[in-house]
Amino acid sequence: MFYLSLFFQYASQYLKTRLTYRADTVIEILSDLLFQAVNLIFILVVFRHTAFLGGWNRDEIIFIYGFFLVPYAIFSSFFNIWDFNDRYIIKGEMDRILTRPVHSLFQIILERIELESLFGAVTGLLVMGYSIVNLGLTFTWYDVLLFIVMVFGGAFIYAGIFISIASIGFWSDSRTDIMPMMYNISNYGRYPVNIYNKVIQFVLTWILPFAFVGVYPASYFLNREEWYGYAFFTPVMGILFFGIAILLWNAGVKKYRGAGN
């Protein structure tokens, strides 16, 4: 309860500052939109040359992309920890965090929220809407609930992986450049995993399970029954990876060495 009210306090403060820098915010939203449009155009271009990709047609791939945008938007709004090592460990901001009576990871999440990224979820819903119409899909009431569960599962997988990587910073004070690489790998989850070779499929399923953010859960809504097992595993993977990340983080904080003055 306390954490929730703290969240709203920070969020309202965030909106207040955002409103004073309006132009900035608009430009950020527009550049996000542009980025998403480029990705969409890429899919469209690919399907001018082929009708199927690993057994999936154009509209299904577009649906997967649209679905992926929703958990990704939640992740990038609330888990901006890609620069954690630079900002908090090397610059020593972690000292300040640790002198306050709130869980350290939660404080960092609060300080780094970027609510305008949630706009990506709207784009995602629109993209999905477009492909739903083309594919003539129908849904029942509990599909909405499942959708929410899957989205949060996916966002937690993302968060878990990135928090785990950020935690490495507690042990090694050398700068790690894994973060940008991880953003690249995460993009593979937007496409059906069966188009990749077996090793990459395995990695995307069990080691860096980005496939659970896009293709696996989306296959449920596309009625691809052969993937249902994976689809329903999405929330489990989310809880598992997020849990591991929190444990890693808590262990890391004990190893925090601080920055010199």
Partner 1 sequence: MNVIEVQNLRKEFNSYTSRPGLAGAFRDLFTRNYKVHAAVDNISLTVKQGEMVGYIGENGAGKSTTIKMLTGILTPTSGSIMVNGMNPHKQREEFVRTIGVVFGQRSQLWWDIAVQESFRLLKKVYRVSDEDYNRHMGHVIETLEIGPLLDKPVRKLSLGQRMRCELAAALVHNPPLLFLDEPTIGLDVLVKLKIRKFLQEINEQYKTTILLTTHDLTDIEALCERVVLLDEGKIIYDGKLNQLQEHAVEGKQIEFEFLSEVPRSSLPRVENIQWEQKDATTWLGYINGDEQMVSRLISDVVQRNPIKNVRINEVSTEEIVRKIYEEGMALT
Kindly state whether residue 258 participates in binding partner 1, applying the rule CB under 8 A.
yes
Is residue 211 within 8 Å of residue 196, measured between CB atoms?
Answer: no
Nearest to 103 by CA among 194, 2, 241: 2
Q: Which is nearer to partner 1, 17 or 187 (CB)?
A: 17
Give 103: exposed, middle or buried? Use CB within 10 Å, 0-12, 13-18, 19+: middle
Q: At what angle do helices 234-255 and 104-111 cross, to 10 degrees?
A: 110
- Contacts with partner 1 by CB under 8 A: the residue count is 26
The smaller minimum CB distance to partner 1, of residues 146 and 166, is found at 166
Residue 261 sits in the site that holds partner 1 (CB under 8 A): yes
Least distance from partner 1 to the Cβ atom of residue 189, Å: 33
Rounded Cα gap, residues 75 and 114, in angstroms: 10
The site string for partner 1 over 7-46 (x = CB under 8 A, - otherwise) reads: --xx--x--xx-----------------------------
The site map against partner 1 for 74-103 (x = CB under 8 A) is ------------------xxxxx-xxxxxx
According to DSSP, residue 165 is labeled H
C-alpha to C-alpha distances, 194 to 148, 185, 206, 210, 216, nearest whole angstrom = 25, 16, 14, 13, 11
Query: Minimum Å distance from CB 19 to partner 1?
Result: 12
First to last CA, the chain: 37
Helix (H) or strand (E) holding 232: helix 228-232
Nearer to partner 1, 223 or 250 (CB): 250
6 forms part of the interface with partner 1 (CB under 8 A): yes
Residue with Cβ nearer partner 1 (102 or 144): 102
Identity of the residue, 196 or 256, whose beta carbon is nearer to partner 1 in the bound complex: 256
Decide: is 174 part of the binding site for partner 1 (CB under 8 A). Answer: no
Q: Which of 202, 204, 170, 26 is nearest to 85 (CA)?
A: 170
Residue 255 lies near partner 1 (rule: CB under 8 A): yes
Residues that bind partner 1 (CB under 8 A): 2, 5-6, 9-10, 13, 16-17, 92-96, 98-103, 254-258, 260-261
